[in-house]
Structure 1
Amino acid sequence: MARKHFGGTLTGFVIGLLVGLGIALSVAVYVTRVPVPFVDRGVSRKPAQDVEEAERNKGWNPNAGLATSPATVPPPVVIPDPAPAPVVAAPAGSPAAGKPVAPQPATPPTQADPLGELMRSRTGAANGAAPPAGAPAADPFTYFVQAGAFRAPEEAEAQRARLAMLGMAADISEREQSGRAVFRVRIGPFNQKAMADATLEQLEINGVEAALVRVQR
């Protein structure tokens, strides 16, 4: 009984082994005969297939997918021509009549000079007024604007530097007063009292104490 059981097991094992070998052989034959993608494609191709593929790819453009479609192309930008300069007609009868005249560049505005305007208004030069009849030909005095008298020369130098920052040139003169040296800071001389008054007014506007000094010529 044991021998029959052992013989049946051995027989089944052999049959299973043979069946497995047959299946493996069949798979191997199938694999060797079926073309492998990307490897055996060129092996099994025929000349007729190459001709057909060449005809099919004759009009192929590799950059067709990268080209921009006509609908997405931006319209061209048109830059208008600059407007022509206006032509100014010359007066009738002038030599330039009938010929275009180019426009002249605008004259830049002049910078304001408040001190100069004030002086001209005081002297009458701004309005072109002539001196009244019977007035003396010249003023017998010379005028100075004194911006302080100091005991130390350093103080006088500091005052002159302050006036220089305001655009006014001053001189320092030394004089003895009550037995002590005094350093005077003066602007001038002015031949006309109106110019001296304008300078004095300008100093007062800037907070500088000053006085008008008159000297006989």
Structure 2
Amino acid sequence: MKELLVATTNQGKVHELEKLLESVTNVQLRSLKDLPDLAVAEEDGATFEANAIAKALHYCRLSGLPTIADDSGLVVDALGGRPGVHSSRYAPSDAERIAKLLREMEGTDWPQRSARFICAAAFAVPNPEVHIHTLTTGILEGYIALEAKGTFGFGYDPIFYVEALGCHLAEVPPEIKNTLSHRAQAIAKLLPAVTEYFRMTL
């Protein structure tokens, strides 16, 4: 069976991507948890796209497997775009990142609490030589809520209010989140290329 590497160790992201990629049949998904000896990719790009490309190329080169890598984060207008590409490193844990962001947003009126999740997804393939096959992006608009709510999802989901849903992103189950999230949008755009690649190589 052919294998597809999902370049992340984040279990929440792995589960999300497994659902989003379930239509790619006869392909076994692997994550970086399955390949612990691979050197970690540098994530020092100035944009989500640059980081996604760098990670996809790095892990495709080391593993020899077709690789999907994404870089995503939260862009908050009132904070000049922070945490942005540093979203996952803004503080040591999800709870601390949320607490830090809520502190920074104290006293900010609702209209100024606008924010968006952005995801860039890159698909790298090893043949004829390692290269980026496809790059896509997805965006989910919302607001930074006044407090955390919900138990679904991960990361900043508990404080991200989505007007179209009328609730926080962490208040909706994965099957709903996976119809509209920034990552769902990016992967949906990537899916035809991934499906076609494996159809041609099986």
TM over 0.5: no
Q: TM-score range by the shorter chain?
A: under 0.3
Higher strand share: 2
The structure with the largest alpha-carbon Rg is 1
Normalization by structure 1: what TM-score? 0.17
Normalization by structure 2: what TM-score? 0.18
